[in-house]
């Protein structure tokens, strides 16, 4: 029989393809999560891999990301307790939409950039049908699985380049990665069962948010542990450049410009954590607003700005800190994860109030003189 604390570990998180995802570091991070806590916040949720670990540990999990497509994964796999996409739902998603003439964004902007016209047409039609699913959890699952399928379809797993269609007609590339020429519909059906199987109820009321973390923090209460995994400033952590297509597909923007060869949306959302000129003051705000949360875990990288020692100094105003690290064996690209770079975890606990006896204080003052 399984021990109580492992009973949700039979559920598998669908493998993400996301810059800086902590999927491969979960068992290491887990070592620093104490057992006696109830509620954990994943402040920069991204692919939701760490939130999924929190949920598996039986915690009430609050997750957040300022990008809508990540929020949808949180809604689908963290907040959702039981809703899955069944055959009837799949028929709804694939049916010819009566609204199709209002849904032409992918076809008009991204045909011949990332997709052939028939594939753009297919995903527009699918997008028109998502609101017809009977509840927000099924809808969020449809977004999560479709967005993952679109990432699979594209070479290098992001949308910051224009090589997708070139590589999709290169036999050598296709041999290495069959997904380049597989229909999006097939990729969706293959991934769907993995996402459906990852839906479970850990008997807690978890929630997914879609806000700038600086705005969300003041509204939250009774959090025991917060995990911060901000973009690694200084290491090309351009989330809105790499994943613009997924955000455009989810938002179905009507009021943006689509610029450059990759047609990324403009203006972008404000992060506060991706520019050297802003990041230090954003961290100060973040730490001040988190003061009532006792435990902080902060992921970092030895190539980030500000550097590790400066950052440690900043944190030590608020918490007692220990620094843990793990060295990358293989570079997987992105977010500083090159071979030899170090993944760092700041483990931050409430400051100990040292009691200094009166006599000892006097003795120190005397010695100073």
Ligand X SMILES: C[S@@+](CC[C@H](N)C(=O)[O-])C[C@H]1O[C@@H](n2cnc3c(N)ncnc32)[C@H](O)[C@@H]1O
Q: Which residues pair with 115 in a beta bridge?
A: 111
Residue with the CB atom nearest ligand X in the bound state: 46
Would you say 18 or 103 has its CB closer to ligand X?
18
Which of 42/89 has CB closer to ligand X?
42
From the list 8, 13, 18, 126, which residue makes contact with ligand X (rule: CB under 6 A)? Answer: 18
Q: What is the DSSP string of 204-253?
A: S--EEE-S-HHHHGGG----SEEEE----TTS---HHHHSHHHHHHHHT-
For ligand X, the closer of residues 124 and 229 by Cβ is: 229
- Give me the sign of the Cα torsion angle 57, 302, 239, 179: negative
- Determine the Cα–Cα distance for residues 156 and 33; give it in Å rounded to an integer: 33
Shortest Cβ distance from residue 153 to ligand X (Å)?
20
Secondary structure of residue 343 in the 3-state scheme:
strand
Q: Compute the chain's Rg from CA coordinates.
A: 23
Which residue stretch of 39-47, 84-92, 129-137, 322-330 sits at the interface with ligand X (rule: CB under 6 A)?
39-47
Q: Burial letters for 23-59: b for 16+ Cβ neighbours within 10 Å, e otherwise? A: bebeeebeeebeeebebbbbbbbbbbbbbbbbbbbbb
CA angle 243, 114, 68 (to 5 degrees): 25
Q: Candidates 15-23, 260-268, 288-296, 349-357 — which segment interacts with ligand X by CB under 6 A?
A: 15-23
As a whole number of angstroms, the distance between CA 81 and CA 230 comes to: 27
* Binder among 21, 93, 164, 315 for ligand X (CB under 6 A): 21
With a CB cutoff of 8 Å and minimum separation 6, the contacts of 134 are 89
Judged by CB, which is closer to ligand X: 50, or 92?
A: 50
Considering beta carbons, is residue 79 or 124 the nearer one to ligand X? Answer: 79
Number of shown-chain residues binding ligand X (CB under 6 A): 23
When asked if residue 119 is in the footprint of ligand X (CB under 6 A), the reply is no
Output the smallest distance, CB 266 to ligand X, in A. 17
Asked if 61 and 206 touch (Cβ cutoff 8 Å), the reply is yes
Which residue, 110 or 232, has its beta carbon nearer to ligand X?
Answer: 232
Q: Is 345 in the site for ligand X (CB under 6 A)?
A: no
The binding track of 70-109 with respect to ligand X, each residue x by CB under 6 A or -, is x---------------------------------------
Residue choice 14, 29, 40, 47 for contact with ligand X (CB under 6 A): 47
Q: Which C-beta is closer to ligand X: that of 165 or that of 338?
A: 338
Q: Least distance in Å: CB of 13 to ligand X?
A: 10
Cα-flanking dihedrals φ and ψ of residue 65, to 5°? -155, 145
Q: How far is CA 79 from the centre of its chain?
A: 15
Segment contacting ligand X (CB under 6 A): 46-54, 141-149, 310-318, 336-344?
46-54
The dihedral built from the CA positions of residue 178, 52, 229 and 289, taken in this order, carries a sign that is positive
Q: Which strands form 295-301's sheet, in the order they lie side by side?
A: 207-209, 60-64, 39-42, 225-228, 295-301, 342-350, 319-327
C-alpha neighbours within 13 Å on the C-beta side of residue 53: 21
Site for ligand X in 222-281 (CB under 6 A): 229-231, 239, 271-273
The answer to whether 66 contacts ligand X (rule: CB under 6 A) is: yes
Please say which residue, 168 or 225, places its beta carbon nearer to ligand X: 225
3-state secondary structure of 43: coil
**Which of 29, 57, 67, 344 forms a contact with ligand X (CB under 6 A)?**
67
Piece in contact with ligand X (CB under 6 A), picked from 33-41, 47-55, 140-148, 249-257: 47-55
Instruction: By CB under 6 A, name the binding residues for ligand X.
Output: 18, 20-22, 44, 46-47, 49-50, 64-67, 70, 212-213, 229-231, 239, 271-273
């Amino acid at each position: 029989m399984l021990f109580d604390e492992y009973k949700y570990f039979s559920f598998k998180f669908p493998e993400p393809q996301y810059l800086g995802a902590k999927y491969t570091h979960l068992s290491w991070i887990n070592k620093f999560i104490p057992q006696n806590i109830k509620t954990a916040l994943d402040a920069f949720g991204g692919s939701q891999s760490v939130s999924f670990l929190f949920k598996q540990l039986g915690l009430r999990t609050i997750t957040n990301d300022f990008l809508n497509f990540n929020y949808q994964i949180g809604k689908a796999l963290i907040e959702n307790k039981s809703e899955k996409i069944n055959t009837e739902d799949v028929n709804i998603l694939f049916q010819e939409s009566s609204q199709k003439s209002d849904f032409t964004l992918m076809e008009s902007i991204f045909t011949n950039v990332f997709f052939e016209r028939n594939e753009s047409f297919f995903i527009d039609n699918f997008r028109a049908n998502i609101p017809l699913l009977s509840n927000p959890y099924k809808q969020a699952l449809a977004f999560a699985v479709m967005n993952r399928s679109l990432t699979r379809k594209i070479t290098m797993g992001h949308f910051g380049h224009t090589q997708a269609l070139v590589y999709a007609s290169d036999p050598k590339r296709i041999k290495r990665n069959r997904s380049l020429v597989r229909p999006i519909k097939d990729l969706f059906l293959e991934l769907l069962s993995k996402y459906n199987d990852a839906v479970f109820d850990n008997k807690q009321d978890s929630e997914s948010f879609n806000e700038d973390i600086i705005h969300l923090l003041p509204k939250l209460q009774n959090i025991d542990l917060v995990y911060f995994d901000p973009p690694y400033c200084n290491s090309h952590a351009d989330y809105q450049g790499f994943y613009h297509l997924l955000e455009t597909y989810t938002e179905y923007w009507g009021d943006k410009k689509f610029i450059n060869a990759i047609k990324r949306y403009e203006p972008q959302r404000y992060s506060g954590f991706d520019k050297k000129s802003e990041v230090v003051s954003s961290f100060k705000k973040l730490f001040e607003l988190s003061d009532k949360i006792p435990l902080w875990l902060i992921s970092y990288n030895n190539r980030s700005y500000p550097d590790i020692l400066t950052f440690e100094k900043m944190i030590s105003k608020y918490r007692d800190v220990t620094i843990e690290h793990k060295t990358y064996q293989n570079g997987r690209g992105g977010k500083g994860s090159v071979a030899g770079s170090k993944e760092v975890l700041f483990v931050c606990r409430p400051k100990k109030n040292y009691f200094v006896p009166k006599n000892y204080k006097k003795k120190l003052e005397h010695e100073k003189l």
